[in-house]
Structure 1
Amino acid sequence: MTAQPLLSPLPSSLAFQHVQRPAKVLVGGSTLGRLRTERYKSPWQTMLEQSGGSNPLELSTSGRESPLFHLYSLSFDTEQDNRMRQQQEFYLNYGRALRVLREDIPRFFKGAPDTSIFTEDVVFLDHIGPRIGMIFTTVKGRKAYSQHIWLLRFHSSLIFSRCEVEVQRIWERDSRTVAVRWKLRCFPRLLDRSLVNLDGISEYKFNDRGLIYEHTVDIINWDDSRSKKPAQRQLQHSLSTLAC
């Protein structure tokens, strides 16, 4: 069965083009400029020759691949390469973010965290405040996020002699969400104040590039070693100072 062309044969006027190009040749040791008529092949002519002189757009039933098949194949390979590069970028950034979180969370109150694992418009959501009778806190932007963390460390240093954070568990909720279970112990500067213990969880959501675009923090349980009410007032005062 003979293949039917999808389009009409290519006009011969498009197959070849005649142009005049300036060319320099050496004659007797000197360089002379003259015009030379060059007959070059257009892309369509190249495709015609590769297809045996037939229309390069027609379907072939002989098992011979048409030039456009290679073009489509090249486009498909390019898309695959792009997907592979995106996946590689995601897993590289994702793995690095996990390492940074594992290192930064325990020293949260000792130094500034590495914010390069976050997007420029990262959103921080604090669910601890409403659970202890305070307002819900939202911070947007990497710069504002860094300032919020700095204020938290600063005010904590005024109220507590030291704060310790222990990472208890890190797991994946899904392919783009990581949860971290942590325990916080704060030692007050005043002797009549009780030790504050707090169990919390942080949730990090990743975008297609493997960067964190949302950080949510919530409280699981909190208590003190002596009496609960003084610790509650102390914690509320600390967080209210930070919110200001």
Structure 2
Amino acid sequence: MEYQLQVERNIETLKKDLPTLFEQDISYDIYTQNIYFQDPVNKFKTKFNYRIIFWTLRFHARLFFTQIYFDLHDVNQSAEDIILAKWTVRGVLRVPWKAKIFFNGYSTYKLNKDGLIYEHIDTWDRKPGEILQQFFRKGGEI
């Protein structure tokens, strides 16, 4: 019962935090101290480094984009020890040709016996190089 309450708390926290991750910091109390994070360009451990990646995302969002959005489509418990979040990142780069960035992905969060998140793996629908190529195209609607 306690475990499932923590899982539900995690889901509610993710639903609240993820849509605004480019604007404000997330809550870190649902993660273990030694959380492992991996996406197609980063890989590291510990909550300190996890905090840095979110700070870096906000910093780069403000520096390089006039608009940037993290559209959260769904967050659910896909297995007893897994939470899955499906999302889209889209934005307008701060360049004269107003290049647009757009990619879909999902985050897989693995839970320990206490229901805390000990692993966060992001999967993108395209390679980082393909996303980078979007920076050089003239923008349209996002």
TM-score, reference length from structure 1: 0.51
CA–CA separation in structure 1 for the residues paired with 2:37 and 2:124? 15
* Matching residue of 2:10: 97
Amino acid at match of 1:104: D
* Matching residue of 2:88: 183
Q: CA deviation at 1:121?
A: 0.5
Alignment partner of 1:211 out of 106, 116, 120: 116
* Matching residue of 2:26: 113
1:106 partner SS: helix
Q: Is the 8 A contact 1:193 1:230 kept in 2?
A: no
Q: Is the 8 A contact 1:124 1:215 kept in 2?
A: yes
What RMSD in Å do the two structures reach over aligned CA positions? 2.0
1:171 paired with 2:76, answer yes
CA–CA separation in structure 2 for the residues paired with 1:229 and 1:108? 21
1:101 partner SS: helix
CA–CA separation in structure 2 for the residues paired with 1:168 and 1:99? 14
CA–CA separation in structure 2 for the residues paired with 1:229 and 1:112? 25
Larger radius of gyration: 1
2:20 partner SS: coil
CA–CA separation in structure 2 for the residues paired with 1:193 and 1:203? 32
Q: Is the 8 A contact 2:100 2:135 kept in 1?
A: no
Gap runs ≥5 in structure 1 = 1-86, 130-136, 223-227, 235-244
Cα deviations across residues 30-87 of structure 1 (Å, max 9, x unaligned)?
xxxxxxxxxxxxxxxxxxxxxxxxxxxxxxxxxxxxxxxxxxxxxxxxxxxxxxxxx4
CA–CA separation in structure 2 for the residues paired with 1:143 and 1:98? 22
Q: CA deviation at 1:192?
A: 0.9
2:88 partner SS: strand
CA–CA separation in structure 2 for the residues paired with 1:212 and 1:109? 21
Write 1 or 2 for the structure with the bigger share of helix. 1
1:182 partner SS: strand
Q: Is the 8 A contact 1:109 1:164 kept in 2?
A: yes
Q: Which has the higher contact order (CA 8 A, sep 6+)?
A: 2
Q: Is the 8 A contact 1:125 1:139 kept in 2?
A: yes
Write 1 or 2 for the structure with the bigger share of strand. 2
CA–CA separation in structure 1 for the residues paired with 2:132 and 2:90? 17
Q: Is the 8 A contact 2:99 2:135 kept in 1?
A: no
